[in-house]
Structure 1
Amino acid sequence: MNRFSLERRTFLRGAGAALALPMLDAMRPALAAAAAVAGPEAAAPPVRLAWVFFPNGTNYQRWKPEGLGVDWKPGPTLEPLAGDLRQDVTIVSGLAHVNARSLGDGPGDHARSAGAFLTGAHPRKTSGEGMQTGKSADQFAAETYGSVTRLPSLELGTEAGRAAGACDSGYSCAYSNNISWRSPSQPMPKETNPRLAFERLFGGLRGDMEARDQRLFSRKSVLDMVAEDARQLRGRLGGADRNKVDEYFQSVRDIERRIERDFGASLPAEAAAAQPLEEPADIGQHIRMMYDLMTLAFRTDSTRIATFMTSNEGANKTYPMVDVRDGHHQLSHHQNDPKKIAAIGRIDRYLVEQFAYFVQKLKETPDGDGVLLDNMAVVYGGAISDGNRHDHHDLPVVVAGRGGGLLTPGRHIAYPQETPMTNLYLSMLERVGAPVDRIGDSTGPLPGLSV
């Protein structure tokens, strides 16, 4: 019997690298000891919260499911989630973001959509000074629940965008380009560069920057840098844990190789070591890489809170992989043109397919005696329903996972129209022990999420 014991928050260290470990059997004694003092929840896997935002609304008729409860049938857009993942997702209807509406401020629905998505607040119409929306749900959680991890929260995206100037009818670009807000006037900058996101997770602790830059310059893997620590650790682990560590190392190396292949291979070493500015040309590769990085972050308990913008609000990207060569935003204003509606449908479904990839990864990733998805609540949605009309009610929302008991998935739940979407966030924060009285326009936690 292997009596070797590890703390849950254990790092393998090397010059310019710090690799957090996934949950291992060797960590159970320390968790059991903590549970004896603080109660059984101290030994349970932590619940992680994530929000995935997509822009420009949907063609809602293709999104809208039929039927309620377990008997729901997907519209064409949701079909990628209705097969093997059907029992892992909750489709939610009836939620609204009232504060994404004009409320007398005129045009600017896209900026208000992103600005209100996690805050539930009405963004102040300004392109310069005086920017204000609200503190976002993820940052309420990060303030308390996130304080125990290396990264209180992780903010990712695929487009950096401008932080100043007007991007939508007199609204600051900061509204369109961010969903996470530390305070009503301070957005949390998101990382769009996969290499730099990887370095945030594994690139060493404070004070290791020079060594990290040297590692990048020489194009060495983080695994090379922690090899001695890893060798010593493997010699003390049991067989099952050695297999878990080997599989985990392989997943880290696979992501490194993909970043090098799709993102950094064409860059000179000096540029790679500094701050590469290019982005993957394929939006699907970029999105999946970010999903994989989020999975690793949750698996290693590097963070328990993350946000991801698949694109900035109002983005006009093309999707040639699904035969859409006109811009997304342009097509969303289809004015009932059947060809444009069909193109929007292909974009919507493609983005759901990428989200399904993420859910499947979480379902396949071990976490304690179960899988990550058991202990995740991942919101996929936006603050615009029909993109042509800029509706902000009956929003397209999917919640993946069981949230450690928060959710009973496999159902379509329809709430009364105009139910604040922020009520869902109150329920999520309450589940992780970070309750707040109010987020934006919230009125109370959502009932009926579990049965």
Structure 2
Amino acid sequence: MTMRRRNFLRGACGVAVALPFLESLNWRRFIKTARAAEPGGKRLVVFFMCNGVNMETFFPAAPGPLTAASLMGTSIEPLADYAGKLLIPRGMHMVPKGWGQDADTPGDDHAKGMGHKLTAEALDPNTLYARGISVDQRAAQELNKDGSPSMTLSVGWRHTNVLGHISYAGNNTPVTPEGNPWLTYQDLMGLGGLDEMVKMQIATRRQSVLDLVEEEFKALKAKNLSQADTLKLEMHADSIRDLEIDMVGNGLIECALDPARAAEIEAIDPNSVQEDWQFKTIGLMQLDVLAMAIACGATSVGSIQWASGSGGPIYKWDGMNHEFNHHKLSHGNTKDDNSGEEVAGYLEMLTQIDRWHAEQYRHLLDRLSSYTEGDGTVLDNSAVVWLNELSDGKAHSYLDLPVIIAGSAGGYLKQGQYIDLIGGQDPWVQTHPHNRLLITLLNAVGCTDDGGPVTQFGRAGLEQGEYAELRA
């Protein structure tokens, strides 16, 4: 599929149609319009997995060039086809730190893992929400044309407190993610306020945009318009029809999901979207909608949060038949408070869960790669970063964070490399704070600070500046 900057119908994802200003009616718009971003720029996407990983099986055997062979046998083996487009930096520690290492940072390690990871800011002692903006929302302020927020999505059941939020619009301002892909899709397609028949016509793209508003055009023509307004209306209708023909003739993408996929999303039971048995289905739908929104310019920034901190589903699909939820398995215990018995084989189960999430991450990369622009793909112009709440979940560890970045953000980041930032030292040396990763990501996608590169983000007083080791 090919995408170009021009020849898009104005409106969310190219669907809404703005009527010309008609002086005799003082008419401004009749369907929601607002493009948040232009396609073709740099994008930032956060793929966030709660709890920890099996650190023994997650990473390749040794730092160096990444190949399909070097990923074999690891939890991230499903990413083998993308080995040349991956960057795996290792050795970073979270800031503010966990385990009570920073005395002025309230909250337990799960709360810190959720609230600190995208903000690099401490939690408020009264609310336990982060005291700063998150990297996704900071990037959206600059990259989205109208400064609109980052698309913020979730999958599965969530806590309503800090454990259910990773994205922040500012100090003590958590952004609640949308967990229902149909609601997200309706918003993207400008369907709010329309009747169900029109919603499905637009969502499935089964007829011309002009056909959908034919009755509105007729109603306007029936009014006592001036000759000038009548001419404007007719010219506007002609231009839309010509634009549609041009788009089809030039093979430009339609910024909507396949009709069958859109129908599946529309058929979701809203009462079941957070249930475990829907976890995979809803997750894939959210990824499809997110990829479409990123590719079509509805937003340049998005995040998807899988489940909740100190929580998670019981995995009973794709060959997994677990008895305990993700949080319990991350501790290897039958009780959330560790008062139970050890779960036999829990490390193997964690590897299964990590591998399954790698498959979902690959699905996102597949979708972004399916949109071509210029000499590359949307993925090539993006930084798609996989982050985790914790590293070793059993230890609640904030050290040696699992991080994977796919895409070079238009050539800014290295690719096909597994880099040990601390050179084999013990992670306890804590020389590489993760706020510098966030700074690197902001610079990679073109964010600035007073016209220059971003040098500070997150907690003040830490070593600032990006990681030059990650630059191409």
Give a deviation string over 1:56-82, Cα, whole Å, max 9, x none. Answer: 111110112212221572352111112
Alignment of 1:86-235 (within 5 A): 86-103=83-100, 104=103, 108-126=108-126, 128=127, 131-148=129-146, 151-159=148-156, 161-163=158-160, 173=161, 175-204=162-191, 209-210=192-193, 212=194, 214-215=195-196, 219-222=200-203, 223-224=205-206, 227-228=209-210, 231-235=241-245
Larger Rg: 2
Give a deviation string over 1:192-229, Cα, whole Å, max 9, x none. Answer: 1111111221124xxxx43x2x1368754432575327
Distance 1:426 1:21 in 2: 23
Letter matched to residue 55 of structure 2: Y
Alignment of 1:236-275 (within 5 A): 236-237=246-247, 239=249, 241=250, 243-245=251-253, 249=256, 251-261=257-267, 263-264=268-269
Greater mean alpha carbon deviation, residues 436-445 or residues 57-66:
436-445
**1:278 pairs with one of 269, 272, 277:** 272
Distance 1:355 1:148 in 2: 28
TM-score with structure 2 length normalisation?
Answer: 0.75
Specify whether residues 7 and 260 from structure 1 end up closer, same or farther in structure 2 by C-alpha distance, changes over 3 A only: closer
Letter matched to residue 173 of structure 2: Q
Specify whether residues 346 and 406 from structure 1 end up closer, same or farther in structure 2 by C-alpha distance, changes over 3 A only: same
Report what 1:77 is aligned to. Answer: 75
In the alignment, is the contact (CA less than 8 A) between 1:298 and 1:304 conserved in 2? yes
Give a deviation string over 1:146-179, Cα, whole Å, max 9, x none. Answer: 2447x4411010146353xxxxxxxxx2x11111
Provide structure 2 residue ranges, at least 5 long, that are not aligned to the other structure. Answer: 18-29, 212-239, 334-341
Q: What RMSD over aligned residues (CA atoms) do the two structures have, in Å?
A: 3.0
Provide structure 1 residue ranges, at least 5 long, that are not aligned to the other structure. Answer: 24-43, 164-172, 265-275
Letter matched to residue 284 of structure 1: K
Specify whether residues 59 and 203 from structure 1 end up closer, same or farther in structure 2 by C-alpha distance, changes over 3 A only: same
In the alignment, is the contact (CA less than 8 A) between 2:37 and 2:299 conserved in 1? no
SS at match of 1:133: coil
Specify whether residues 22 and 102 from structure 1 end up closer, same or farther in structure 2 by C-alpha distance, changes over 3 A only: closer
* 1:238 CA displacement: 6.8
Specify whether residues 162 and 381 from structure 1 end up closer, same or farther in structure 2 by C-alpha distance, changes over 3 A only: closer
Letter matched to residue 145 of structure 1: L
SS at match of 2:465: coil
Greater mean alpha carbon deviation, residues 56-65 or residues 223-232:
223-232
Give a deviation string over 1:256-291, Cα, whole Å, max 9, x none. Answer: 122134x14xxxxxxxxxxx4431732111111111
Letter matched to residue 403 of structure 2: V
SS at match of 1:85: helix
SS at match of 1:309: strand
The reply on whether 1:423 has 2:436 as its aligned counterpart is yes
Report what 2:223 is aligned to. Answer: none
Give a deviation string over 1:77-109, Cα, whole Å, max 9, x none. Answer: 111112x11111111211110325142578721
Report what 1:66 is aligned to. Answer: 61
Letter matched to residue 440 of structure 1: G
Distance 2:244 2:110 in 1: 51
Report what 1:404 is aligned to. Answer: 410
In the comparison of the two structures, how many residue pairs are matched?
392
The reply on whether 1:306 has 2:302 as its aligned counterpart is yes
Specify whether residues 427 and 354 from structure 1 end up closer, same or farther in structure 2 by C-alpha distance, changes over 3 A only: same
**2:457 pairs with one of 425, 439, 451:** 439
In the alignment, is the contact (CA less than 8 A) between 2:66 and 2:83 conserved in 1? no
* 1:353 CA displacement: 0.9
Specify whether residues 113 and 100 from structure 1 end up closer, same or farther in structure 2 by C-alpha distance, changes over 3 A only: farther
Distance 1:238 1:147 in 2: 26
**2:384 pairs with one of 365, 378, 383:** 378
* 1:312 CA displacement: 1.4
* 1:434 CA displacement: 2.8
TM-score with structure 1 length normalisation?
Answer: 0.78
In the alignment, is the contact (CA less than 8 A) between 1:9 and 1:21 conserved in 2? no
Specify whether residues 364 and 283 from structure 1 end up closer, same or farther in structure 2 by C-alpha distance, changes over 3 A only: same
Specify whether residues 369 and 152 from structure 1 end up closer, same or farther in structure 2 by C-alpha distance, changes over 3 A only: farther
Report what 2:325 is aligned to. Answer: 327
Specify whether residues 296 and 61 from structure 1 end up closer, same or farther in structure 2 by C-alpha distance, changes over 3 A only: same
Distance 1:370 1:218 in 2: 33
SS at match of 2:358: helix
* 1:426 CA displacement: 0.7
Report what 1:13 is aligned to. Answer: 16
SS at match of 1:140: helix
In the alignment, is the contact (CA less than 8 A) between 1:97 and 1:392 conserved in 2? yes
Bigger helix fraction: 1
Report what 2:43 is aligned to. Answer: 48
